[in-house]
Structure 1
Amino acid sequence: MALAVVQPGQTQARRLPGLLFTSPEPDFVCAQVYGEEVYIYGGNHSADNANVVARVPLNQATDRKAYTFWNGKDWVADVRQAQPILTQIPGAVTASYNPYLGQFLVTTCRPLSSEILMYTGPSFAGPWSQPTTAFRGLPPSSDGMDYAGIEHPELAKNGGRTVYVSYFNTTGFLTGDLRFVEVHFG
């Protein structure tokens, strides 16, 4: 995972040198700022597609040594102690606080399916509810699948009652469309 910095009011980011996380560490993606901290989820390369969560103070996001990882009971400095908080997550996943639900919301795709799933929980570390199918994406081509289902919490409306989710819909060999869907709660 690499980082880039963009200054307020600017439209061009500057990539920072080097990588923040490297193999065999989890592949962390989709950072979310909540309060004064950044939370990121990462796959740990296991057969069950398990994901772990890390956090860091926002003002230290570029300092690898400042990151801590949920071990099932507490936040610890050693990434090797991180325990899975979600399984069967094939790739991209987002988590955000949803004021309308009064809970944290995880969005991802069901493996090998066109279903976009959502989970709720009391914190960024869960525990998480059973998944609910938010919607089914368009049927993918016969040689592909839908994937990369993520929420865009910065676009939520009505206090989180309406959220927006994007996903990739395969339309043919090495081709597809990025789809954008509005999801209403209640």
Structure 2
Amino acid sequence: MPTAAFPDAETAEAPPNGGRTRRPLRRPIVTALLAYLLTLVAAGFVIDAGDAQRPAVPSPSGSAPAAASPPREPAPPMSDVIPDRPAVQRVDRLDALHQQDRVVSRDNGQSTRYGDRSVWVFADTTLKGPPAFLSNTVASTADLTGRDGITVTATDLAGTAGELHDEFLPWADAERAFERAHAKNCVGRYCGVTFALWPGPVIADPARHRVLVLYHKLCRGGAPKAPCSQKFGQDLGSGVAAVDMRTYRATRLTVGDAAPLGSIEGRDPTLFFGPDARYAWAAVVAGDDVYVYGDCHTDDVRCRVAKVPLAKIGDRSAWRFYGGGGWWSADPADAVATIRAGGAGNTVLWNPALRAWVNIYMEFGSVEVRAQVGGSPYGPWSEPFTLSDTDPGEHGTNYAAYAHPEYAERDGLVQYVTYYSQSNGALNLLRVTFRG
């Protein structure tokens, strides 16, 4: 497994005296340092205290880290009026996503732009030569032009060309110990159980030099008819991972200002929400806030929405849940269903050309890529309409339809959408053009 911090070192309890040993004050040295710092400030330098607290970790590829994105733009306009539904002018079916040679199949496939690259996260990944199965993988690409297809053949966030062989989300010691204890010579319903971490939406946070990945945690296997032995495993909850884009070091954030939630291996301090809510379906940044979608139910096929300042995403007490009528509550039980849910997730984006927020998704058991337009990230939303049908193949269904706004053209009139084909394991690519 990759070397990564767990839990978030910034939220861990500090030792007495902040972990520092008392030393005699050396006034000449302190005076000289103060004078030097004043000189730097006068010369126009800015000192980033955060950098001083985070020692550099060499890039796994040896290449330079990705460049930071430009300063974040103000939040797009929001309205309580549903925009006009756009007309689809044409849909082009392009070649499937070109991936790394060892990849047989991998689903999900959400992305975001960071600097001059597109960052992609994938869930279940099947490899060949030799065979392997991973619950999550990641890659970045400098290919930011979609009209001739999209190439994502790197094996890590640095864009390394090599052999894909590892997951990127880190594991807790308690999780690995639980797996080892139930691997063999055991009895009970958890014998043979393994954990999985499925990445969901990925968002850029350049002000803090990081990419954030919201993920689902689940268990799989075990005794027949036991909880983890279901077809798709047992949901355990959702969390947030941060990847430092200067070092490519992934960290599962520890929940701030909230009691740890339970998991089958014990208390898990990285679970932000339990299996009933799982706010990791979609996410979109608007100004200083991030809107996160979750608590999705198949009975009404809709999701709830939360918002939290991007800088405080790790602080559970800073999350607010939309209760309708412009009201935001600190209690997730007050959240109301607002937006249609996709099978495995959605993409919510601001489309400047349409002057609308857009929700793109594929419903459970469907073969259609659908959309809604809304006045804001929390609605109101239009009735769904079809963007494109897809070939159901021999399995009769597809899933995981996502838009990739970093590839958009003509101010958003052209959007690129991928979806997972169960027939051949490909991430098929559509070019959707709206009528201007």
TM-score range, shorter chain: 0.7 to 0.9
Larger radius of gyration: 2
Which residue does the alignment assign to 1:176? 425
Which segment is superposed worse, 6-15 or 131-140?
6-15
Higher relative strand content: 1
Q: In the alignment, which of 14, 20, 28 is matched to residue 280 of structure 2?
A: 28
Deviations 1:85-144 (A, max 9, x none): 034644411211110110100001133221000100110111111212111122232x35
1:13 CA drift (Å): 2.7
Contact 2:239 2:253 (C-alpha < 8 Å) held by counterparts: yes
Deviations 1:9-56 (A, max 9, x none): 444433334122223224432221111111111133352222101111
Deviations 1:35-84 (A, max 9, x none): 11111111333522221011111111111111111111211111000000
Which residue does the alignment assign to 2:241? 4
2:385 aligned with 1:132: yes
CA 1:10–1:23: 2 relative to 1, 3 Å: same
TM-score, normalising length: structure 2: 0.39
Distance 2:332 2:401 in 1: 26
Contact 1:32 1:39 (C-alpha < 8 Å) held by counterparts: yes
CA 1:126–1:137: 2 relative to 1, 3 Å: same
Distance 2:369 2:411 in 1: 21
Which residue does the alignment assign to 1:155? 407
Matching of residues 16-95 of structure 1 within 5 Å? 16-17=253-254, 18-45=270-297, 47-73=299-325, 74-87=327-340, 89-95=342-348
Where structure 1 has 5 or more consecutive residues not aligned to the other structure, the ranges are none
Higher relative helix content: 2
Q: Which amino acid aligns with 1:58?
A: L
Contact 2:239 2:280 (C-alpha < 8 Å) held by counterparts: no
Distance 1:156 1:9 in 2: 26
TM-score, normalising length: structure 1: 0.88
Which segment is superposed worse, 109-118 or 87-96?
87-96
Q: In the alignment, which of 330, 336, 350 is matched to residue 97 of structure 1?
A: 350
Contact 1:37 1:58 (C-alpha < 8 Å) held by counterparts: yes
CA RMSD of aligned residues (A): 1.9
Contact 2:296 2:341 (C-alpha < 8 Å) held by counterparts: no
Identity %: 33
Contact 1:94 1:151 (C-alpha < 8 Å) held by counterparts: yes
CA 1:47–1:3: 2 relative to 1, 3 Å: same
Where structure 2 has 5 or more consecutive residues not aligned to the other structure, the ranges are 1-237, 255-269
Distance 2:275 2:363 in 1: 25
Which segment is superposed worse, 146-155 or 50-59?
146-155
- Pairs aligned (count): 182
Distance 1:70 1:5 in 2: 25
Q: Which amino acid aligns with 1:70?
A: Y
Distance 2:319 2:393 in 1: 38
